[in-house]
Structure 1
Amino acid sequence: MIVPIYKVEKYLLQCVKSIQQQTYSELEIILVDDGSPDSCPQICDELAAQDTRIKVIHKANGGLSDARNVGIRSSTGEYLVFVDSDDEIAPEMIERLYTAVQLNGTKMALCNVLCIDETGLPTGESEGSPIQNEYLSADQILPRFYQKNGLFYIVAWNKLYHRSLFQEITFPVGKWHEDEFVAAQLIWKARRVVCIDYMGYHYVTQRAGSIMSIQNDVRHLDALEALLIRYRFYQEIGQSELLHETRARVLKALEEYYWGKPSKDSAYDVRMKQIRREYGNLTGFPLKEIIKWKIFAISPILEHILLRVLK
């Protein structure tokens, strides 16, 4: 269990308590204090003194990805689970995920997500979740990234991973939306994933001060960079249908920018232009997709008009 920790003193005890109360008790609980300026470092040390399963790592602030990567390198178990320090997990989450991978002989299992508010009440955002009791190939899961609540397949924290999946994959340091950079690669490497319709992970939505609650921040554009990484990966593995889906997601975001009101944030504008150039410089196959991106690089508006005319 790897728990990155930064400025969550109000929620940390409840998070760790939910881990300690797991029905599967043979856990290595790694609390990674990412240079938190509040009382979190002291809380971590106190928890470790009370529970021999807890290992604390104090480090300079490097962000969520860096904390997770440090936790991975410091872990000794065969399987890995990530829990964000302001969330909680249901008592049987680990036992059910571990049982699922053992019975199905796979290297990854994922469970359903219950989205709750700060009082613990369901927000309704979990309704319509695509996660059912299924044993799926990577080919079957990857298209689901684009369904309603497809994010449940992407996020890092509702899953059990065999540690071998991270031998050549790390979370991108300094990026927001870090899960989106690596989700497709991890699932493809696992080949098959077992899914269980058990709301084992309790995700607190839009907590004040959280990354997702900060609107119009240029760092949210990291999600578009992640889609570029995913697009190139789909090219490498020959998933042409997924190229169309990924391109549609990118175009929706970019067209909203180019057809909407001009941004008043110069850093945002510079980042968007950089992303536009990166997509315009794509190479490889299929050729039809590359031609579309080349036109887009010249003029997003021209590309939009041509596509509508050709349809």
Structure 2
Amino acid sequence: MNQPTVEFILLGLTSNHFLETILFATLFVAFLLILLGNVIVITMTVVDQRLHIPMYFFLRNFSLVEICFASTFMPRTLYSLLTGVKTISLSGCFLQLSLFFILGICTFLHVALMSLDRYMAICRPLHYAAFMNNRFCLQLVLGCWVARFFLMFSPLTIMFHLPFCGSNIIHHFYCDIAPSCTDTGLTEKVMLVIRVLILPGTLSVTAFSYAYIMHTVTHIQSSASRKKAFSTCSAHLIVVTILYSSSIFRYIRPSQRGGRDCDKVVSFLYCVITQLCNPYIYTLQNEHVRP
């Protein structure tokens, strides 16, 4: 990155002033709810001794990732909507892009971890206590944090040294991939490999886990227990479906000709909607957390 004075223009979600006012109010409330929901989850799982089990250990770390992820783009987007200032420095754009993808990868890894934990608890209850011990759970979470830096190190290093010039307009509400003067084919190929590894890879773990969970639930004799298990799993699956379908469409579809406005809407789904739903879906559906 050899042109530190370069600035980019983030066009945002809309150029209509009236819609910007509505969006600011909506996103401001959404951001507060995301922070509040995840802070409550972290606080409750730390304070309540009943929640010192693997399921809530993963959920606590997931909430931390959610807070960090939302904070990478929400404050900047709100500032732009409030003030009308759409410019962002090259270093600021690169930092936002780096944190967005690094924390995004961690989100998918944590979703896979939590689905695996539920699979072990429901489908392999006799092995659960021995397998999902505190040490192993900590290793899994640390592995997620290490893996995301390892996966993104090469493409981010390449992008960091690319010269940026020409059009400085980014048709998005956060820094996605900034325009470069040189051929970015290598970077795009590396990023595509990472996306294929992360998205379909973690999706396969999540799908496998929930498929076996559903199979096990159908054989539960108690109708009340079966109904409760289906209710919990269905709520989780709705969020997971929105998260993966929107992310795969945005980053792995063969052609990017879907339209910039379409990309913004899809990005809004996994950046805001799923972030807003996650803390409430994963906690309010659980009897240990519900008041």
TM-score by length of 2: 0.23
Higher strand share: 1
What TM-score does the superposition give when structure 1 sets the normalisation length? 0.22
The higher-RCO structure (CA 8 Å, 6+ apart) is 2
Indicate the structure with greater helix content.
Answer: 2
